[in-house]
Amino acid sequence: MNNDTLALLGLGAAAFIGWSILRNSGWTVKGEVGRTEVFPVNKDSLKTVQGLAHDYLQSESHSLPVQTLTQQVLAAEGVRANENHRQTAMILQRFVADKMPFIDDPQGFEKMVSPAELAQQVLTHPPGTIGGDCDDKAVLLAAMARSAGIQASVTFLDTDGDGEIDHAMTVMILDGAPVHAETTIPGAPFGWRPDAAKEESLLSKTE
Ligand SMILES: [Ca+2]
Ligand SMILES: [Ca+2]
């Protein structure tokens, strides 16, 4: 292709993105195995994030990339899935919180990378190079926990008391009680939860 054609294609892509933003609809990028959803931050975006988190967990927790990554992380610590749920959960949290960098969404947008897509990227890139923000990492950890047989989902919190949800965490049921797992702060203790004025957990909506 010559430069003019490339420039036209670039203009076309920019026009499409602009049109998507104007329509408020966002767009989907199909990855190798999963998908990435991008949409503008607005009053409806939290509902979209929560709906996608639920869908991603239902459809991709037992996908091959999520299962493979989970088994690799556990095997590196000499543990097999289903031996001990609390120990398994703690190892998986350490991986997502400590070994995957925090990478923020583009300014003004919500970007949600599905767990199969994120796991596939982690499996195929050098260690420590693939990461995500709180919703991406919280959904991935919940999916990995589910693939290890642990009841898990995502919970959304208002941590600064302004009435708006601003954080996502993984929450799991261990010994019959909900346990929070922070994924964006390296070294965050298992079970630690920030003070929150409001919390909306998807755990009760699990199958
Ligand atoms: Ca995100
Ligand atoms: Ca807030």
Q: Which ligand is nearest to the CA of 159?
A: 2
Residue 7: inside a domain: no
CA of 105 to the centre of ligand 1 (A): 5
Query: Who surrounds ion ligand 2 at CB < 5 A?
Result: 158, 160, 162, 164, 166
Q: What is the pLDDT of residues 47-73, one digit of tens each?
A: 999 999 999 999 999 999 999 999 999
Structural domains of the chain, count: 1
- The range of the structural domain enclosing residue 97 comes to 42-205
Residue 57: inside a domain: yes
pLDDT for residue 18 is more than 60: no
Residue 16: inside a domain: no
Pick from 129, 136, 148, 126: nearest CA to 71? 148
CA of 3 to the centre of ligand 1 (A): 34
Three-state SS string over 146-205 comes to HHCCCCEEEEEEECCCCCCCCEEEEEEEECCEEEEECCCCCCCCCCCCCCCCEEEECHHH
Residue 49: inside a domain: yes
CA of 83 to the centre of ligand 1 (A): 31
Residue 22: inside a domain: no
| Residue type at position 199 | E
- This model's pTM is above 0.85: yes
Q: What is the pLDDT of residues 147-198, one digit of tens each?
A: 999 999 999 999 999 999 999 999 999 999 999 999 999 999 999 999 999 9
Residue 189: inside a domain: yes
Confidence of residue 206 (pLDDT cuts 50, 70, 90): very low
CA of 167 to the centre of ligand 2 (A): 8
Residue 160: inside a domain: yes
CATH number at residue 130: 3.10.620.30
Residue 3: inside a domain: no
Token pair, residue 191, equals 């079970």
CA of 23 to the centre of ligand 1 (A): 21
CA of 131 to the centre of ligand 2 (A): 23
76 three-state secondary structure:
helix
The two most distant CA atoms of the chain are separated, in Å, by 63
CA of 75 to the centre of ligand 2 (A): 38
